[in-house]
Amino acid sequence: MTNKKDVVRKRKKLQSMARKSYIFKRGDKRASTPRICVVCGRPLTSLILREGTYITTCSHIRFYISDVFTLDCCLDIHSCYRTLRQKGELNEHVNG
């Protein structure tokens, strides 16, 4: 289980670790790999079978942690909340 405060904290941590970040908007075809939000687990890209390429299905931020390591996360924090809620992993009764 997680809560909204945790989600905010994780996203801030990503931002603080990243050397740079880049936003991929929905429909962007430059995303060439399967991507998943590290905070909520939502798939961010999907394969277009007939083209063999990936398309961004959920706007997200790509954090460049190092030259060889990147992490992706939903652009909209509400996307993370919604996904976690659907999975039953969001505890909304924690205050603070």
Enumerate binding residues for Zn ion (CB under 5 A).
37, 39-40, 42, 74, 80
Q: What is the dihedral of CA 25, 28, 31, 33, to 10 degrees?
A: 100
Cβ at position 51, least distance to Zn ion in Å: 26
Strands 45-48 and 53-56, sheet pairing: antiparallel
Cβ at position 92, least distance to Zn ion in Å: 16
| Separation of alpha carbons 12 and 56, rounded Å | 23
Cβ at position 52, least distance to Zn ion in Å: 26
Q: For residues 37 and 54, which CB has a smaller minimum distance to Zn ion in the complex?
A: 37
| Separation of alpha carbons 38 and 65, rounded Å | 13
Cβ at position 69, least distance to Zn ion in Å: 19
Q: For residues 31 and 40, which CB has a smaller minimum distance to Zn ion in the complex?
A: 40
| Separation of alpha carbons 35 and 15, rounded Å | 18
Q: For residues 54 and 61, which CB has a smaller minimum distance to Zn ion in the complex?
A: 61
Q: For residues 35 and 54, which CB has a smaller minimum distance to Zn ion in the complex?
A: 35
